[in-house]
Amino acid sequence: MVSTYFSYSYIARNLTQSLTRVAQQSDVAREAAYYKANIGKVHTVDDLMKDYRLYHYATKAYGLEDMAYAKAFMKKVLESDLSDPKSFVNKLVDKRYREFAAAFSFNGGATPVAQSGDQTDETIGLYTATKKRQVDALAGDSDYYSAQIGNISTPDQLLNNDRLRNYVYSAFGIDQSKWPAATISQVLRSDPSDPNSYVNTTFASQLSGLNAQLAQAKSDASAANSNIANYTAQLSQPGANVTQLNVQILVEKHHLESYTNSISSLNDQIATIGGFVDLAGAFEFLPDGSLPSGVSAQTAANVTITKQRFDASKAAVYQAASPIYEALAIKQFRSDLLKINSVQAFVSTPGVYDFALGAVGLDPKNVSQATVKAVLESDLSDPKSYVYTLKDDRYVQLARAFNFDAKGNLTTPPGGPGLGSSPPDCEGLRHRSDQKRKPSAAEGSSGTSPESRDGLSGSSRRNRKRYRSA
C-alpha cells in the first residue's frame, strides 16, 4: 500500500522539476527583473503603454498578450472604475480584463475592493505556505512516532504522551472527547483473538445487534422513500386529496430524516468498535499492561500499518496541499473574490471564506461566522478593537488581508491607489508564447474573449512554486 504522504510527495516533487525549469528561463527572469526595476516610474496609463517591455510583460502576466496591440481598448480597461457595474471593464465577459484593471489603479482614485492585488498575492502565498507547513507537521509527527514507539512499555506510558496519544487516536478514529483514557488503556491490553478479552466482551459483542439495527434502519429508509414517491405520484391523479397527500408526504419525510440519522449514528458506532478491535490487535500489551519479555509495544508491521492509517486519517490535509488541488482552490478564490462586496458576501462564499481562513491556519468548521464578521469589521488601528481581544494573531492576519469598514462594507486598501512593485508573474509561469491565437474582430469591438486557455491563473502557477519553496 502506497501511503497518502508518499503519493503527495511524488506528485509535488515531479511538478517542482518542471515548473522550476520554466521559472529559470533567462528571458523570463530578465523581463521580471526589468518590470520590478521600472514599474515604480509608471504613474499613468500612457506611461505604462509607452514602455513596450513593461506593457507587454503585464499583458502576458494576465494572459492578454494577444490583445496588447489594441491599445485604445486596453486603455479603456485600465481606466475603468471597478466599483461601477456599468463601467467598461465590468461589461466584458472575460474576467481577465477585470483582474488586469484591478492590478493597476489608473481610474483617478482609490477603489474600494475586498483585496488589492498585493493583498491577494499575499493571501495566496500564505495559503500555500500554511498548507505546506501542515503537511510538514504531519511528517514530523510520523517521524516522532517511529522514533518513540519503541521506548513505550505500558499503555499508560503511551496515553500520557500527548503527541503519541493524538497520533494513535487519529490513526484508529478515536474521539478522545468521548472516550476516557482508562477505557482505551483496557482496549490496548486486550487480545482480539480471545473472546473473553475486554475489547470483545465490552464492544465487539455489540456488533451483531448494531448490524441488525442498521439493516432495519436502511429498510425503513427505503420504505419511506418509496412511500414519498408513491404519494407524490398520486398528487397528479384526478380527484386526489392533495391536502391529505401532502400531510402524508411530510410525515414520511420526517420518518426518513429519523431513519437517516439512525443509519449515520449506527455506522459511527460500528466504525468505532472496529477501530477498537484494530487498536487492540496493533499492540502487544498483556492484560496486566506489561509486555512479554523481549517484545516491543508494536511489531514493525504494525508500526507501518499505524502510520498508514494516520496518513489516511489526514487525507484532507494532503489533498489540500497537493499542487493540483491548490491550483484549483486558488483559481476559485480569484474568481469568487470578484463577487465580494461586503462581509456578509465574504462569509457566504465558500471559495473565499474557506480559502482565506485556511490561509491563516483557521479551520472553517471550528470558527463561527459571527466571530469572522466581527474580526473583519475591526479597526486595526484601535488596540481595543475586537480582533485584538481574541489574542490570536491568525485573526489579525485575516483582518489585514481584507478591506471592510465597521459596517461590513468595502473600503479602500491601505495606502490607497498605486502600482505594486512586484512583477505580477515573477516566475513567468503564465507566459505562454507557444499558444498564440489571433483575436477576433468581435473581441476588439465588444471586449468579449475566450476564457483562459488552461483555466489556471498566473498566480495559480506562481503560488505552486511558492508552495514548494516556502
pLDDT tens digits for range 384-421: 999 999 999 999 999 999 999 999 999 887 654 444 44
- How much is the pLDDT for 447? 39
CA 3 to chain centre: 21
Measure the CA–CA gap between 303 and 284, rounded to whole angstroms.
Answer: 12
Pick the range with the lowest mean pLDDT from 56-60, 212-216, 272-276, 318-322: 56-60
Measure the CA–CA gap between 399 and 374, rounded to whole angstroms.
Answer: 9
Q: Which residues contact 432 (CB under 8 A, 6 or more apart)?
A: 63, 453, 454
Give 342's DSSP letter.
B
Q: Quick one: what percent of the chain has pLDDT higher than 70?
A: 80
Coil, helix or strand at residue 409: strand
Look up residue 48 and give its amino acid.
L
Distance in Å from the first CA to the final CA of the chain: 29
Q: How confident is the model at residue 110 (pLDDT cuts 50, 70, 90)?
A: low
The arithmetic mean of pLDDT across residues 342-360, rounded, is 97
Q: Tell me the three cell numbers of residue 92.
A: 466584458
The arithmetic mean of pLDDT across residues 459-470, rounded, is 36
Measure the CA–CA gap between 423 and 436, rounded to whole angstroms.
Answer: 22
Look up residue 370 and give its amino acid.
A
Burial class from Cβ neighbours inside 10 Å (0-12, 13-18, 19+) for residue 101 reads buried
The arithmetic mean of pLDDT across residues 170-196, rounded, is 96
Measure the CA–CA gap between 287 and 426, rounded to whole angstroms.
Answer: 62
Pick the range with the lowest mean pLDDT from 131-145, 328-342, 408-422, 452-466: 452-466
- How much is the pLDDT for 9? 52
- How much is the pLDDT for 350? 96
Q: How confident is the model at residue 199 (pLDDT cuts 50, 70, 90)?
A: very high
Q: Name the residue ranges covered by the structural domains of the chain.
A: 1-136+315-341+410-470, 153-296
442 has pLDDT over 70: no
422 has pLDDT over 90: no
24 has pLDDT over 60: no
Half-sphere exposure of 326 (CA within 13 A, CB side): 31
Q: How confident is the model at residue 36 (pLDDT cuts 50, 70, 90)?
A: confident
- How much is the pLDDT for 452? 37
The arithmetic mean of pLDDT across residues 93-107, rounded, is 78
Q: How confident is the model at residue 448 (pLDDT cuts 50, 70, 90)?
A: very low
Half-sphere exposure of 433 (CA within 13 A, CB side): 7
Q: Tell me the three cell numbers of residue 360.
A: 491563516
- How much is the pLDDT for 113? 82
Coil, helix or strand at residue 195: coil
Q: Quick one: what percent of the chain has pLDDT higher than 90?
A: 63
Q: How confident is the model at residue 449 (pLDDT cuts 50, 70, 90)?
A: very low
Q: How confident is the model at residue 102 (pLDDT cuts 50, 70, 90)?
A: confident
Look up residue 145 and give its amino acid.
Y
2 has pLDDT over 80: no
Measure the CA–CA gap between 374 and 315, rounded to whole angstroms.
Answer: 32
Beta bridge mates, 410? 404
Measure the CA–CA gap between 21 and 327, rounded to whole angstroms.
Answer: 18
461 has pLDDT over 60: no
**Cα pseudo-dihedral 38, 41, 43, 48, rounded to 10:** -40
Pick the range with the lowest mean pLDDT from 89-98, 105-114, 137-146: 105-114
Contact indicator for 28, 393 with CB cutoff of 8 Å: no
- How much is the pLDDT for 105? 62
